[in-house]
Amino acid sequence: MYNITFQQIETFLTIARYLNMSKAGEVLYSSQPSLSRTLKRFEEGVGMRLFTRSNQGMALTSEGEALYAVLEPLYKTIDKSIQSVKNNSTSPIKILRVIEPSSYDFMADFDPMREIVKEYESRYPNVVLNEHLCDFKELRQAIEYGNVDIVITEDFVVRDLQDISLRRLNKSEMCVAVSARHPLAQSDTIDFGMLSGETVLTVATMGEEQTDIETQMRSCLHIGFTPKKIELMANFPTIIHAVSLGKGICISTRMRNIGLGEDIKYYPVELPITPSVSVVWRTGKLSREAKNFIDMLPKESH
């Protein structure tokens, strides 16, 4: 068990976001000496050095970058959950449970859905919107077992599930993501055949590792290269971090809102089936709050 506190996590994330102690102090209403002490205790608690300091300012270490990518969405989920419970203690319980993948905050493809979520919160202020970010396996289990009202995800994650309804909204632009340090990334175009022998990183989606590996292999062959191997990783932020460090490549949409974005180059590709951002729910099991949300969605994209 790591000896860290929620306040220390908040301090780390804020400093990592701005890479400026003065700005972080303004946001957290805290003095720089106090922030430094809190950050030092957090680094001691996790057993890693998370920042470097030089004449050019602060920078995240590779461990700090990886920890930021994982903790940021988790922190937002915890914060929203606490606020939901607090609101429920003083008002009638009206909750809309929404699950999104861990990549939700990093993908521009989800922007239209984020706008709909904001509009829903404005239109129905008496409903507590309980959002939760999770990996694909947890997302699938939640919809299968009825532990969620609405799932916002890319459709390939749930294609084989039974008794669900799905509204496809906008198609994703798929790319091969390569570290900007890779020799092949020095050009604005790329010969995909030259990627043969590279390690391709992906996440588990269908619950069967071999199925995920075979699906990813078919995509690679369609694009025009044969990977050295396909490696499954814990979640998408971890993949993007690994790609930025040159530890593999991946097939994904364009990412943003992550400090590593400039370290990755994206090359558009055509796949046999293009994923679509979709809203999913259990067929015939809609609460009034979920129905109101679905009624706000645009017509399905074709």
Separation of alpha carbons 39 and 151, rounded Å: 35
Buried b (16+ CB within 10 A) or exposed e, 37-66: ebbebbbeebeeebbeeeeeebebeeebbb
Position 289, amino acid: E
- Across 3-32, b (16+ Cβ under 10 Å) vs e yields eeeeebbbbbbbbbeeeebeebbeebebee
Residue reference for tokens 């930025």: 244
- Which DSSP state fits 271? -
- Global pTM reads 0.65
Residues contacting residue 230 through CB under 8 Å, at least 6 positions apart: 199, 200, 201, 202, 213, 216, 217, 220
Q: For residue 201, give every residue at least 6 positions away whose Cβ sits within 8 Å of its Cβ, in sequence order, or none.
A: 230, 231, 233, 239, 242, 243, 247, 248, 249, 250
Q: How far apart are CA 249 and CA 69, in angstroms?
A: 18
pLDDT tens for the 302 residues of the chain, in order: 678 888 889 999 999 888 988 888 888 888 888 888 998 999 888 888 999 888 878 889 988 888 888 888 888 878 777 776 666 555 556 889 999 988 888 888 899 999 999 999 999 998 989 898 888 888 888 888 888 999 999 988 888 888 999 999 988 889 999 998 899 888 889 999 999 999 999 887 755 778 888 888 999 999 999 999 999 887 777 888 889 888 999 998 887 655 544 588 999 999 888 889 999 999 988 889 999 999 999 887 65
| Distance between CA atoms of residues 126 and 227, nearest Å | 51
Cα within 13 Å of Cα(105), Cβ side = 19
DSSP tag of 157: G
Residue with tokens 């990518």: 69
With b for 16 or more beta-carbon neighbours within 10 A and e for fewer, the 120-140 pattern comes to beeebeebbbbbbbbbbeebb
3-state SS assignment for residue 162: coil
pLDDT at res. 261: 46
How far apart CA 114 and CA 289 sit, in angstroms, is 17
With a CB cutoff of 8 Å and minimum separation 6, the contacts of 85 are: none
**Angle CA 62–114–95, to nearest 5:** 105
Helices then strands, each counted (H, E), the chain:
9, 12
Please check whether residue 192 is in contact with residue 223, taking contact to mean a CB–CB distance below 8 angstroms.
yes
Q: Which CA distances in Å does 238 have to 202, 251, 274? A: 10, 14, 23
